[in-house]
Amino acid sequence: MPLGYCELANQRLSVMEKRKIENIIKLKIN
């Protein structure tokens, strides 16, 4: 697997994790 592909996959994962965290924070505020 090329290194660039791994970096892209990691970026996508981190974005999904950030969205999950943001949703959890929104739920806690509401």
Which pLDDT score is estimated for 1? 52
3-class state of residue 16 by DSSP: helix
* Per-residue pLDDT tens digits for 1-30: 566 777 888 888 899 999 999 999 999 987
Cα-Cα-Cα-Cα dihedral sign, residues 9, 10, 15, 17: positive
- pTM for the model: 0.53
Distance from C-alpha of 2 to C-alpha of 11, rounded to nearest angstrom = 15
Helical ranges in the chain per DSSP H: 3-29
Number of domains in the chain: 1
- Site of tokens 């929104």: 26
Identity of the residue numbered 22: E
Residue span of the structural domain in which 8 resides: 1-29
* Lookup: tokens for 4: 């660039």
